[in-house]
Chain A
Amino acid sequence: MNGLWTALMGLGDQLAAHVLLSAAAIALGIAVALPMAVWASRSDKVARASLAFASLVQTIPSLALLALFFPILLSLRSVFGEGLPTLGFLPALLALSLYALLPILRNAVTAQANLDPGVLEAAEGVGMSFRQRLLLVEAPLAAPYIMAGIRTAAVWTIGAATLATTIGQKSLGDPIFAGLQTQNWVLVLAGCIASAGLALVADTLLGLIERGFRERRRWSWLGGLAAVALGVGAALFAQFGGGEDEDRVVIGAKGFSEQYILARLIGQRLEGQGFAVEYRDGLGSAVAHSAAASGEVDIYVDYTGTIWANQMKREDNLPRDEMYEAIEEWENENTGLVMLGRLGFENAYGLAVTQERANMTGLQSIEDLASVAPQLTIGGDPEFFERPEWIAVRDAYGLRFGEKRNFSPTFMYNALKSGEAQVIGAYTSDGRIEADNLAILADPKGAFPNYDAVILLSPETGRNEAVVEALQPLVGAIDVAAMREANYSVDREENKLSFDEAARRLAERAGL
């Protein structure tokens, strides 16, 4: 319980960001939905078309909708210029407000349609203009219904805003995703409690405003409105009151433990040198690379093989040093990203089985696997089966598995233990390989490329000598044993360390 309390108390920053994101999305949703509703009340066609559009948006899973805004904004850069943010607040805001549209629009349109025709005739009969009818009659009569729609939208938006974490926007989803990643249920619970609590508070306050409108009690809706304004104001102050946020170094991390730890390792080093840092956790692999290229993320750790296959679309394989140089040259020409250097360990993909199965069936290499694969289930992280490296390995060895299943990385190891999968696409620096007593199958054809962990700097950060100097000692400092231990310290079931703590111990062990 103590841990939960500590976790909750540590969420102030995320809470403020969550409040601002949700409030902005709802405000934008209202700003779009209300004029649309007025237009819809004057035209049946518009009413049908706008409601159909809003309903269609609802059918897109919120996670996908959030992710879709990355390529959309990327392509819009040709119109709005390179300064257009493609990650973080803007895409989250757009996706969430699109989501908030439906309940507001539907309630507003329904309220308009259900207004007493006698009252509308009277409004005309006493000589009201279009504007007067809207402001003096339609708006006040529809207000309680519209407010009910806004309430629904608020609860949805606050819930869905937790997903903004995946596109690099700070929110109460941060502890949820980080916790899911490491099976740290206290962290997951803290995130859920905070976002549910926020939704309840918002619902109560907006309910107060709704009742005030319905029962025409001025103090009730004014009070509710004041409380909402106060909450948003406090969040604004918490986020921007400190100022100096331009100089912050933004460190990106993909959605797995090693990335979280390395981001903190880099962050702690920079903080030690007096930099202010900020983390963008849980980014997708492709998103992280583009985010660094566009300068939204200043620093992140990637793996040579990932860039080789995903960004460069190379299907061949080169020896380690040649590959490194080829990537460095390619980044220099195409994205301007600067490779600071290798951290010193490799986190390759490797096909893993339990040691027990390896011993029993004499499995040693991927070649041995080919003949028994049709009877086996292979598990991989959600990216794995789409990645060109997997396709290369599959084709090189002619692998045909009985079944393919996707798991989040944490659950993938559990699936191997519980027998839901017999082979998994594991990560070689993962602490659970030793802890779970797994065997990585040899790759005699060299189909998997090399996966040296490298520090990448955005073009601008690459020119920042102070940052480069501060991070230089990390190059070559982390060996695979140290990384496995650090990973295991946050992934294990008992006595988990926080990412910050794991990063501190890793720094100590590496003598930094």
Chain B
Amino acid sequence: MSSTALAFQQLTKSYGASDAVRGVSLEIPAGQFVALVGASGSGKSTLLKTVNRLVEPTEGRVTFEGEDVADLPLAALRRRIGYVFQSIGLFPHMTVAENIAIGPRLAGEKLGEGRTAELLELVELDRAMAGRMPDALSGGQRQRVGVARALAAEPHLLLMDEPFGALDPVTRDALGERVRGLHEEFGLTTVMVTHDMAEALLLADRVLVMDAGCIVADEKPEALVAGAGGEVAQALVAVPRHQAERLKELGQ
């Protein structure tokens, strides 16, 4: 029953003479958790942003649940897609509750107190946080609010651009697990951009490796660990593998 949630067709984005994304074609079935991995400048963030049109492609198109995103009204499109990113971007002049409710508010709806509390609990925050200002929260708590904000409008698709990049390792691990749990719970389709291969391997169903604007590997995590995907992918996998081996040696 896996219908296609997201499809890229011959997608290219050029900045002047240089291409950030070169002719990417790709289908993502509904319910999949996809990690988009690559070095800085490989085009992974650019590709992600063409989905909610923070970046307009130079050529090609993106379809979301069968509709070309270019044909959808911008605001409506963005309200249908949850978006979490590295700099978190909570509005500093709004309370936690107001931040979470911003999407529905823009659509002219109110988010009830109960729903706010529910969303806070989903990201493992105390409901008493609702009245706090963002500057009274820790970095991890802020990104949890960021995730709650992304889920408030009950999206089918969750886009995450380096969502845990600025967090400490412990928080990062816990929040990663929680997001994976939410992905299952709500049957989301999730696309996560990351430069951390270990994170990608542990959280995703499918790992896409990008290099110089092209997708150079498209594998399941198990296959990548088993050595598939080619040179660039294996170079990225080698890092956590090497770290794991070193840790094992230290323990002996």
| Residues of A that sit less than 8 Å from B by CB | 116-119, 121-129, 132, 136-137, 140-141, 216
Contact = CB atoms under 8 A, between A and B. Distances in A.
Contacts of B78: 124-127
A125 B89 contact: yes
A125 B83 contact: yes
Contacts, number: 58
Contacts of A216: 93, 133
Interface string B77-102: 11100010101111111000000001
A129 B76 CA distance: 10
Contact of B87 (A117, A127, A140): A117
A135 to B, nearest CB: 11
A126 B149 contact: yes
A118 B89 contact: yes
B54 A121 contact: yes
A127 B85 contact: no
B137 interface: no
Nearest to A143: B93
B52 A125 contact: yes
A123 B77 CA distance: 14
A126 B103 contact: yes
A129 B85 contact: no
Nearest to A118: B87
Interface of B: 52, 54, 74-79, 83, 85, 87-93, 102-103, 106, 133, 149
A119 B78 CA distance: 16
Nearest to B80: A127
A127 B89 contact: no
A127 B103 contact: yes
8 contacts: A116-B87, A116-B89, A118-B88, A119-B92, A122-B85, A123-B91, A126-B103, A216-B93
B75 A119 contact: no
B19 to A, nearest CB: 23
Nearest to A124: B54
A121 B77 contact: no
Contacts of A117: 87
A119 B88 CA distance: 8
Contact of A122 (B75, B91, B93, B106): B91
Main secondary structure of the interface of A (DSSP, over half): helix
Given A126-B106, A128-B75, A141 B93 contact: yes
Nearest to B146: A122
A128 B103 CA distance: 9
Contacts of A125: 52, 54, 78, 83, 85, 89
Contacts of B90: 119, 122
B75 A129 contact: yes
Contacts of B74: 127
Contacts of B88: 118, 122
Which of A116, A119, A127, A129 counts the most chain B CB atoms within 10 A? A127
A437 B75 CA distance: 85
Nearest to B75: A127
A352 to B, nearest CB: 69
A114 to B, nearest CB: 13
Given A121-B85, A122-B90, 16 more contacts: A116-B87, A116-B89, A118-B88, A121-B89, A123-B91, A124-B78, A126-B79, A126-B103, A126-B149, A127-B76, A127-B79, A127-B103, A136-B91, A141-B92, A216-B93, A216-B133
Contacts of A119: 89-92
Nearest to A213: B93
Contacts of A129: 75
Contacts of A141: 92-93
Contacts of B93: 140-141, 216
A122 B76 CA distance: 15
A216 B78 CA distance: 29
Most buried by A among B52, B54, B87, B89: B89
Nearest to B73: A127
B84 to A, nearest CB: 9
Contacts of B76: 127
A121 B106 contact: no
A218 to B, nearest CB: 12
Given A125-B78, A125-B83, A137 B106 contact: no
